[in-house]
């Protein structure tokens, strides 16, 4: 029996989210949460009953202590969350402006999770998990990039399913165009990739324009169908497409696919919904569900988080997720 069901690798942060929707100068109160794409997925998976671990790093500071304590309380294995003296644990600040505007600011100068080494990740027994979940932003900088490549190579050769969340955050890269170059070279080690339309286009973009502060929602020009074909041609077994309020779908190398409509909920903020979607998808697939059921489960998990303020802290637990589905007449075999 594997030690873990899921090992997620990549960034983490302290998330400071405005507790009220108001112009930035009028904001007075923030909630302290934990976040970062792979951290959110690890917590979401743990809440659904999977044995989850996180591979990342914090600084030797109180913020790092806060995150480690919260992760441990969520049941996430933190044996491979390294503490790095001389580095500062990252933070993200969210303002909530009227009109559904959510400007994010990343504070990641000397981020320890961008300094993971080959030697550190060589010590991760990745063969002891069922799924390796990689955040695309983990490929943005060395030495973490090479360390993650090596980890994914080991996982794939050991028969571990490798999931990649495209996680395109242009300001985390020295040039947004480098994202596509690097991620395309990583795809041969991946079984399932997950991304939104913009993230898929960014694999080979015509142009990228940052329209929100720190570029969490950039405009990306490109050939979506061409990018899908190229990604599937790189060796993927499936490419999962997140469509937000429109739902989600999956495409396969033989040209087939399917689409599942979203659940309608009152949206507080869409941030973190995609990570809950990914956790729900992995849980459903590991539970033996087919793609249509798995996408339905993932849509439900994403909808629940979109209706709340927070990312990891808002992730649903298994019974809550199943209750949400049952209330809408959906019964899954997990």
Check: CB of residue 172 under 8 Å from CB of residue 138.
no
Q: Which of 166, 192, 182 is nearest to 275 (CA)?
A: 166
**Distance from C-alpha of 6 to C-alpha of 204, rounded to nearest angstrom:** 29
DSSP, residue by residue, 94-146? E--BTTTB--EEEE-TT-GGG---HHHHHTS-GGGEEEEEEEGGGGSSTTHHH
Site of tokens 């030690």: 3
Q: Which of 223, 275, 313, 323 is catalytic?
A: 275
**275 included as an active-site residue:** yes
**Distance from C-alpha of 149 to C-alpha of 184, rounded to nearest angstrom:** 12
3-state secondary structure 17-75: EECCCCCHHHCCCEEEEEECHHHHHHHHHHHCCCCEEEEEEEECCHHHHHHHHHHHHCC
Q: Which of 26, 34, 76, 70 is nearest to 55 (CA)?
A: 76
Q: Which of 174, 300, 185, 163 is nearest to 240 (CA)?
A: 163
Positions marked active-site? 275
């Amino acid at each position: 029996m594997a030690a873990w069901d899921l090992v997620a690798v990549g960034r983490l942060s302290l998330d400071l989210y405005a507790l009220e929707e108001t112009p930035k100068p009028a904001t007075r109160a923030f909630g302290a949460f934990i976040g970062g794409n792979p951290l959110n997925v690890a917590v979401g998976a743990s809440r659904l009953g999977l044995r989850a671990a996180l591979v990342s790093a914090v600084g030797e500071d109180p913020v790092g202590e806060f995150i480690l304590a919260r992760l441990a309380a969520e049941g996430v294995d933190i044996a491979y969350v390294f503490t790095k003296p001389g580095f500062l644990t990252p933070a993200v600040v969210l303002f909530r402006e009227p009109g559904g505007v959510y400007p994010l600011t990343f504070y990641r100068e000397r981020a320890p999770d961008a300094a993971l080494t080959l030697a550190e990740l060589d010590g991760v027994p990745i063969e002891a998990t069922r799924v390796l979940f990689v955040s695309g932003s983990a490929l943005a900088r060395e030495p973490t990039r090479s360390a993650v490549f090596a980890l994914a190579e080991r996982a794939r050769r050991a028969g571990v399913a490798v999931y990649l969340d495209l996680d395109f955050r242009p300001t985390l890269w020295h040039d947004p165009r480098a994202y596509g170059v690097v991620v395309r070279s990583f795809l041969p080690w991946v079984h399932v990739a997950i991304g939104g339309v913009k993230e898929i286009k960014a694999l080979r973009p015509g142009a990228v324009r940052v329209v929100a502060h720190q570029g969490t929602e950039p405009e990306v020009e490109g050939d979506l169908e061409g990018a899908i074909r190229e990604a599937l041609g790189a060796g993927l077994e499936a490419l999962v497409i997140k469509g937000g309020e429109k739902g989600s779908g999956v495409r396969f190398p033989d040209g087939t696919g399917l689409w599942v409509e979203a659940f309608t909920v009152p949206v507080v903020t869409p941030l973190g919904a995609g990570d809950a979607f990914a956790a729900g998808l992995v849980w459903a697939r590991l539970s033996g569900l087919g793609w249509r059921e798995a996408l339905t489960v993932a849509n439900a998990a994403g909808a629940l988080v979109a209706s709340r303020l927070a990312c990891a802290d808002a992730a649903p637990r298994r019974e809550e997720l199943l209750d949400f589905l049952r209330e809408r007449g959906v019964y899954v075999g997990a």
